[in-house]
Amino acid sequence: MTQLPSHADVERFRAVVARRFGLQFDAGRLDFLAEVLRQRSAASRDPTAGSYLERVASLPKRADELAALAQQLTVNETYFFRNPDALRALTERVLPERMRAKESHRAPLRILSAGCASGEEPYSLAMTLVEAVPDLDRRQMEILGVDVNAAVLQRAARARYSEWALRETPEELRRRYFRAEGRELVLDPRIQQMVTFEEGNLIDDDARLWPAARYDVVFCRNVIMYFGHEVMRDVIRRIEQTLLPGGFLFLGHAETLRGLSQDFHLCHTHGTFYYQKRTSAQARARAVAVSAPAEDAAIVALPRMVEDAVSWVDAIRRASERIAALAGEADHPRHGDQAALAAAPPAVRSWDLGLVLEAMRQERFADALALLSALPREANEAPDALLLRAVLLTNRGELGAAERACARVLELEELNAGAHYLMALCREHAGDVAGAAEHDQTAIYLDPAFAMPHLHLGLMARRAGDLTGADAELAQAIALLPLEDASRLLLFGGGFQRDTLLALARAELAAVRGGR
């Protein structure tokens, strides 16, 4: 009888799983890993978990035991037409654009479903494309499904499904593309022929799996969320390389490229977020934008903007007391701050924003802005410094200048959640409520734990009379604010403490619920 695995065995197993599959299991799932290790070592007739681990660590990639492990470790729950918003974006935005790009050379439209499980996603893609373009030559369309789990790929190739797998399939499409055979529903052979399947591990740097510049679209939904950060980055790099310029990437709702890649443009249409690979010209333009020196904001004289009574800045100032009156700020940095900045070594002085942050903590916004402007030009062009400038300008009410700073940040880091949030404040002040909501929603997509865009959306919804929307957003802000990182509240809290922001959100929510 196989011995129960020790804690050391389980930790070693966790490391082996991460290396062989790229899968990251946190401490809360050690019991699950221990059970998998016990079952597999027993099934393999290894005398101990340790001897099993020694064998698994050196197995070749296509070994049967690795396939059995993949079957137990990976999540394969899926169904047809699982993400209708993504499919609408595919047919109404992505497909027309990619077909136009291919008009001159008539190359096939190629789609990769990475992590395809038992085939529901790639088959859904095939049916969606046939429905969108009925006269499309199916020989000009290639869909490949790839998964590490050989067992689910065998089910995909059979194309026989239960009623449960079709639970979100429109009735018309069920009748058109499926026939009942006993208790199973069999997919139309013409759809089956549009999709091929291959076994492959997304973490492998395999030229066969990742041919250069081949695919128009990659679906990799709810896959990278199970990888460690470095593995995520490597997989996204390979996807970028296998996409054609201008090609599209669809991730899961809870997945973003934030902190992983700057090679994609973020798209938001049809109620969903997705990405488009930058073309060669866009990549070159971005490289120039990153390297070009910025105009020194310290010498640009901008009139102070009058705060709108319906803006978020005004709402939060009306609801809370400032710690220090902005009118009492000094016009220049304090002498000690200037001396400390001058005394710092050049390499540190160029990039050290500590003095700026300290001035912000004390609500000396003019001092902080002057300290920031005193940094060398190249330091002022860094995204972190630009974002700080945008924060300070927003707090001073100079929202036109703040918006220009935010736009520059987003040129350099399009997936910067903080910059999108500040841009939302600027857009609301300019009267563009729809644009403000778009930037808030983007910030939330990029960082679901970010409390401030939920608060801002709630305040805007209440002013617009959308009490249901206001209730949902304010309640979410109240749930997130106690967990919000203190440094982020310093940057984006408008100069207010956590308790003050919570009091504001609760008061607004009470007013919303009292008004129903």
Q: What's residue 13's pLDDT?
A: 86
pLDDT mean over 366-385: 71
CA distances in angstroms from 310 to 209, 305, 474, 480, listed in the order given: 54, 14, 17, 24
Residue 329 confidence class, pLDDT cut points 50, 70, 90: very low
Q: Give dist(CA 481, CA 489) in Å, integer.
A: 9
- The per-residue pLDDT for range 100-115, each reduced to its tens digit, is 888 777 788 999 999 9
Any residues with CB less than 8 A from the CB of 253 and at least 6 apart, and which?
83, 272
Q: Give dist(CA 24, CA 14) in Å, integer.
A: 8
Burial-class residue 179 by CB neighbours within 10 Å (0-12, 13-18, 19+): exposed
pLDDT at 339 exceeding the cut of 70: no
Q: Give dist(CA 37, CA 32) in Å, integer.
A: 9
Residue 281 confidence class, pLDDT cut points 50, 70, 90: low
Q: Is 293-514 the same fold as 84-286?
A: no
DSSP state of 273: E
Q: Give dist(CA 421, CA 406) in Å, integer.
A: 9
C-alpha closest to that of 309 among 301, 318, 300, 296? 318
State the distance between the two ends of the chain, measured CA to CA, in whole angstroms. 65
Which residue bears the tokens 């950060």? 229
CA distances in angstroms from 132 to 136, 142, 272, 357, 370, listed in the order given: 9, 16, 19, 53, 56
Rounded to the nearest 10 degrees, what angle do helices 7-21 and 49-57 cross at?
20
Q: Give dist(CA 328, CA 330) in Å, integer.
A: 7
DSSP state of 202: T
Q: What is the pTM of this model?
A: 0.72
C-alpha closest to that of 322 among 65, 196, 497? 497
Are 304 and 428 a contacting pair, CB within 8 Å?
no
Six token digits for residue 333: 């940095």
Which residue bears the tokens 């310029």? 245
C-alpha closest to that of 350 among 386, 381, 375? 375
Question: Under DSSP, is residue 294 helix (H, G, I), strand (E, B) or coil?
Answer: coil
Are 380 and 294 a contacting pair, CB within 8 Å?
yes
pLDDT higher for 82 or 350? Answer: 82
pLDDT mean over 76-92: 91
Q: Give dist(CA 317, CA 300) in Å, integer.
A: 27
Q: Give dist(CA 173, CA 399) in Å, integer.
A: 51
List the CATH code of the domain at 84-286: 3.40.50.150
Cα 160 to its chain centre, rounded Å, is 33
Q: What's residue 379's pLDDT?
A: 64
Domain ranges within the chain, ordered by starting residue: 7-72, 84-286, 293-514
pLDDT higher for 350 or 421? Answer: 421
Are 54 and 140 a contacting pair, CB within 8 Å?
no
Q: 407-440: string of b/e by CB count within 10 Å (b at 16+)?
A: ebbbebbbbbbbbbbbbbbbbbbbeebeebbbbb
Element (H, E) at 217: strand 215-220
Chain-wide mean pLDDT for the chain? 81
Question: Under DSSP, is residue 360 helix (H, G, I), strand (E, B) or coil?
Answer: helix
Residue 219 confidence class, pLDDT cut points 50, 70, 90: very high
Listed range (301-310, 446-455, 484-493) with the worst mean pLDDT: 301-310
Listed range (73-77, 119-123, 252-256, 363-367) with the worst mean pLDDT: 363-367
- The per-residue pLDDT for range 471-490, each reduced to its tens digit, is 999 999 999 999 888 878 88
Residue 149 confidence class, pLDDT cut points 50, 70, 90: confident
Main-chain phi, psi angles of 484, to 5 degrees = -65, 140
Q: What's residue 140's pLDDT?
A: 81
- Cβ neighbours of 334 (radius 10 Å): 16
Residue 172 confidence class, pLDDT cut points 50, 70, 90: very high
pLDDT at 447 exceeding the cut of 70: yes
Cα 111 to its chain centre, rounded Å, is 21
Q: Does domain 293-514 have CATH number 3.40.980.10?
A: no
Element (H, E) at 198: strand 195-199
